[in-house]
Structure 1
Amino acid sequence: MQHHRTFEEEKMTRRLIRVIAVVVFMLAIGSSTAFAYTKTVIINLDGVPRMINTDVETVGDLMETLDDVISADYVLQGDISKSTELTKNMVIDLTSITEKKTTKTETIAYDTEIRENPDLEEGKEKVLQEGEDGELSIITKENYSGAKLISSEVVGELVTKEAKNKIIERGTKKEELPIVELKKEPANVTVSAAGNNSLNVVATGYTPGDPGCTGITYTGTKASRGTIAVDPKVIPFGTKLYIPGYGYGVAADTGGAIKGNKIDLCYETRAEALNWGIKNITVYVVR
């Protein structure tokens, strides 16, 4: 009997020990869980506060847990780093880093293309094609810290419309002047390689209303543009001349100051005559 009681007592003792161990383990878990979530921190994400209960030890650990909650990348602000230990009621400022792509359109200015045409008279131009601007799309990647732009980079360009050049045809054909033989070869006349009779003169300008002018030429015609006063001993009356920068005219007038290789070109207005001034030029005798 004494041996049986000892066996039962030992059996009960072992059972009691197991129960106590389970209770102690459960109490330990409950105590650990209760202790683990005693830290409350405040996170300001782009200025919006969030209260979070956590059991992690450092700011970096906390940020890793937030990866499942916050999709955007973010950076710490202030003096706090990832290794900073979390404390109760700590305030952590986080600013999200976001990326945005923008597209803007710029104008591609057209160029002007000049084509020489030997069949078109020199000085004349003809527009063969009007110009048209093109368009260029520029794709830019922008990075923002919160609402602040921190970087911008062009990542692509695409010509959505080609520019069309303006094409201008420019004449290069020289005007051919007909030749006339003078009855009396004037002084200082030279014959050019092309066979033109030419004369080096000093040319001035006048108007029919100038002092000393009557409006009627020496030969009896009305003075107007194209009337040229000459020394008839050098250029006979009736000679048709071509004067570069003035055009065609006829030797039909003279004057006391018109001596030798000097001619006076008639203009309609005083301004035109003054604008011509005094020029040393070569004139040509034409039919």
Structure 2
Amino acid sequence: MKRILLNSLAMILILPSLLTGCSEPQQVKVTFSDQPKIINLENNDDTLASSLTKQGYSVAELKQNYEPSIPWDQKLGGQKTVQLTCKCRVSLSVAGKDLGTFQTTQETVEDVLKSKKVQLTAWDEINVPLNQKIKEGTKIVVDRLEQRVKKKVEEVPYKTKKIEDNQMADGKTEVKQDGKEGKKVYQVTMLYKNGQPVVEDGEPVVTQKLIDSVEPVEKIVKVGTNKEMAQKESVNLTSAKETGTLTVEATGYTATGSRTATGTYPHRGTIAVDPDVIPLGTKLYIPGYGYGVAEDTGGAINGKIIDLFFDSEQEAINWGRRTVTIKILK
């Protein structure tokens, strides 16, 4: 009985010592913000600096490049993890503007941008992911894209429709309906990057969208075809007697779409005059042009100046400006 008790007491004394000898010392995990490397240190009364030195690391070099989550001279007792955050040199460019190179302890690209108060928009482009870890020499480039919108209006010319009319003298014309130009309105969008137009294949990136349109109004002109009536009018003019001559400066014009000062639509033979010099209704003969009637006036027709109507703009240009001696008929 005594032997059993002695053996039991011996076991009780030996067991704690066995348990103490089998337990493993706790470790402190040291991580780096810029690399996946991990250092395991013993959780004891040594400081962070001395523990790293024992592991063969240069604390002076680490202090130069990293900032620890606890002081270098703090004991590791009670710690589970310690992080060494990189004091990295980073360069930053935003919207084409170089903000320089600086040192930071921010861990991600997003953190750096927030620390520099750079707010990203949906149109911004960045060269690296926002969650990328900051490393020594990281370059961050933020390109600012924007759309600039303006309107562009294109005029749509009207067409001229000619209708033959046997109730009018051959060669005479009369505007039945004035023409009116139409228009097309486009929304033009240009893409800019850092304040400069985005260019592809040597051309700016431009898109346009039709947002409104107005159809042109056709011009309708009646054209006389009655040759007999034309002959009668010609006889009336050619048979008129000359009452005098006048040397004037003669220019040419073509259809304006408006009626003359006497209420008629201009046609070949219509002549614009200064009524103080040549009364309206006066029959005239102009060398190189033919017979006509003073039916119209004009703001630029002052004094001894007349304006001859031509059926086309080219004819008016060809006439130009001439000094002629005209005949005044009765």
TM-score range, shorter chain: 0.3 to 0.5
Query: When the two structures are superposed, what TM-score results if normalisation uses the length of structure 1?
Result: 0.48
TM-score by length of 2: 0.43
Point out the structure with max Rg over C-alpha. Answer: 1
